Structure 1
Amino acid sequence: MSGKRESVGAEPSLLTDPEEIAKREAENAVRQFDAVLDLIDEVARDGRKFRLRPSTILGLHKFALDGLSRFAGTWRSSKVEIEQSRHEPPHESRVPELMEDLCDWVNDNFESQSALSLCAYVMWRLNWIHPFLDGNGRTSRAVAYLVLCAKLGDRMPGALTIPEQIAADREPYYQALESADAAWADKKLDLAEMEELLTHYLGVQLASTFERAAQPENGDDTDRKFH
């Protein structure tokens, strides 16, 4: 597929100037990722069994849409469509229950599934549910990365993280989502394409650590893009 998957039916932004919107989105993305890192650090520090909760997902969504939407940090209460996608998200009345089920699946399978499998599931399933009027992609990638690192027990090294790689080129990510959507429409859970993509992204992220270590200067991270 080609084109950008966008939520259709989202409320207009609280801001009107395109430059101000872009600036706020970039700032929010950094704040959201910082919040993810804080949550990962809690897992590493406390040593307690990780539990994914709807409140955590809502909190990360609030970071992404703060100052941009009056619905930041809330489930959608109306229909939403995904432009450039064949998938039709479920009715809004089902969103809270489906999000509870998503968290239950992660928590029930946290010990038995690999980090990449858990990450792939969250990244696809949250997008499939599409629980927000806007910011679904940003939040799915943040939550999926949190689950990946929580399973591994700490932050993953690397300057070029998985969310940043997706933000730089969304097309392979969109294709992996469409592949999983098509399988689910046939009543099959098949995340092979998403897992393969995430395996590649994680390899690039880890390799970037070695590349930076070989450079005399680490450079400036102020232009990092997470959304």
Structure 2
Amino acid sequence: MLYETPRLEQVDHEVLEQVNAMRDQLRFAVQQVPMKWTLDLRKALTASAIAASNTIEGYRVDAKDVADLMDGEREVEASEENKAETLAYQQAMTYIQSLHDVADFRYNKELLNGLHWMLQGHHHPLKTAGQWRKTPIRITAPGDELATDYEGPDQELVPGLMGELVDWLNEGDLDQHVLIRAAMAHLNLVKIHPWSDGNGRMSRSLQTLLIARGGVLAPEFSSIEEWLGMPGNTWEYYKVLREVGGPLWSPRRDTLPWIKFNLLAYHQQAQRVQRRVDRSNDCWMQLTDAAESNGITERQVTALHEVAMTGRVRRSRYEKAEALNTQQATRDMQALTRAGLLTPVGQTKGRYYVAGPAFPEEVLATARRPHSITDPYAA
């Protein structure tokens, strides 16, 4: 028996309708902007999701460095351990994103174990990857290694429970909204805790996979991993998992608080992404308007836009974004530096560029434009 999908209250349906409306609006907005800009935004959102999800597990790499690692840059400010965790998560996330439109797709145990290997294979055999745990599992309370927060089901039960979960993923609650099913998949996987390590990231990844398969919007725009990685939200995440899951595997418990928590996450992350889309779009338009008067080529706008939105750009990332050779990209960086639009930081190896003294101030002001995030349950 799995944790069951609860009956939603009227307010939950209203929040879900608001999320649907924001997702529709966001899809329309994304369709109206240049494909090149959309790809940059999707990559930035993926980097933020990876950085946040790894942060929950104690691996800290700034989202800008994650984006650089995703592009093959290795000279970033992160330990080798954190780099390895980031690249492993990127591999799994890239595969998940690629599955969004597979026609004959089916969930199965092999898929889940394969994704787990992508995430945890670099720890094998010290921490077994890609196969169910063969020992009991005990989750300790944050800050107290001796206090038990949760004990997962006996290892003998794991194969059967995972078989039940796979069946549910393919056939269960298909009349429910995809975001609700995705949340329930997350809850059941993290409470079964089928692997010796990496269960949290796998559960969040599975939630993203269900969202991707829903097909309404690219998963980068719908994943709540970035939201979950925010310090206050991470605490609430652990709190609601304790409240709903109980101290032991107990699938008869009420799961509505978990759904409410996820609906809040979906809603507030949609707000955050929409604000980012708006700022990015406005920055792009302002830079395009300023290009002619400042002698900026159309492709150089890409480099300046990234500086506005993330604070820096690397030559290697610009080179890939514009499909240039190294010589062309270097010339562009040098031209923007001579014009005072960029300022280099660091030596040739690991160098990046930040806004120079001539960078349009109005663009930077737009990129830093504050916004407010509302709580739909408090309205």
**TM norm. shorter chain > 0.5:** yes
User: What is the rounded CA distance, in whole Å, between the counterparts of 1:203 and 1:182 in structure 2?
Assistant: 26
Larger radius of gyration: 2
Matched, 1:167 2:222: no
Work out whether 1:123 is the aligned partner of 2:183: no
Q: How is 1:124-163 mapped onto 2 (pairs within 5 angstroms)?
A: 124-156=187-219, 158=221, 161-163=223-225
Are 1:72 and 2:72 matched, yes or no?
Answer: no
* CA distance in structure 2 between the partners assigned to 1:165 and 1:175 by the alignment: 15
Q: Given the superposition, is the C-alpha separation of residues 155 and 5 from structure 1 closer, same or farther in structure 2, using an over 3 Å criterion? A: closer
Residues 1-227 of structure 1 aligned to structure 2 (within 5 Å): 19-42=79-102, 46=103, 48=104, 51-70=106-125, 71-84=128-141, 85-156=148-219, 158=221, 161-169=223-231, 170-182=234-246, 188-215=252-279, 216=283, 217=305, 219-220=309-310
Structure 1: gaps spanning 5 or more residues: 7-17, 223-227
Counterpart CA distance in 2 for 1:221 and 1:76 is: 43
Secondary structure, in 3 states, of the residue corresponding to 2:176?
coil
Question: Is 62-71 or 202-211 further displaced after alignment?
Answer: 202-211
Percent of matched pairs sharing the same residue: 24
The whole-number CA distance in structure 1 between the counterparts of 2:173 and 2:251 is 23
Opposite residue 100 of structure 1, the aligned amino acid is: G
Query: Greater relative contact order (Cα 8 A, min sep 6): structure 1 or 2?
Result: 1
What amino acid maps onto 2:83 in structure 1?
K
Distance 1:164 1:32, change over 3 A: farther
Give the 3 Å change call, closer, same or farther, for CA 185–221 of structure 1 in structure 2. Answer: farther
Question: Against the structure 1 CA distance between its residues 185 and 143, is the aligned structure 2 distance closer, same or farther, given a 3 Å change threshold?
Answer: closer
Give the secondary-structure state (helix, strand or coil) at the position aligned to 1:104: helix
Cα pair 2:132 2:159 within 8 Å, conserved: yes
Cα-to-partner distance string for 1:70-126 (whole Å, 9 max, x where unaligned): 222111111221111532111112211110111112322242222232122111111
Gaps of 5+ in 2: 1-55, 59-77, 142-147, 284-304, 313-379
Q: Deviations over 1:1-29 (max 9, x none)?
A: xxx899xxxxxxxxxxx932222112212
Within 1, Cα distance between the matches of 2:112 and 2:270?
Answer: 26
CA distance in 2, matches of 1:66, 1:221: 33
Letter in 2 for 1:141: R
Are the structure 2 counterparts of residues 20 and 203 from structure 1 closer, same or farther at C-alpha, using a change threshold of 3 Å? same
Aligned partners of 1:51 and 1:140: how far apart in 2?
Answer: 17
- Alpha-carbon separation, structure 1, partners of 2:247 and 2:137: 21
Cα deviation digits, residues 157-190 of structure 1 (max 9, x gap):
53x8312222333211112211221398666242
Separation (CA, whole Å) in 1 of partners of 2:153 and 2:249: 12
- The superposition leaves residues 176-226 of structure 1 with CA deviations (integer Å, 9 ceiling, x where unpaired) of 21122139866624221221122122223322332223221463499xxxx
Contact 2:91–2:118 (Cα < 8 Å) also in 1: yes
Q: How many pairs were matched up?
A: 202
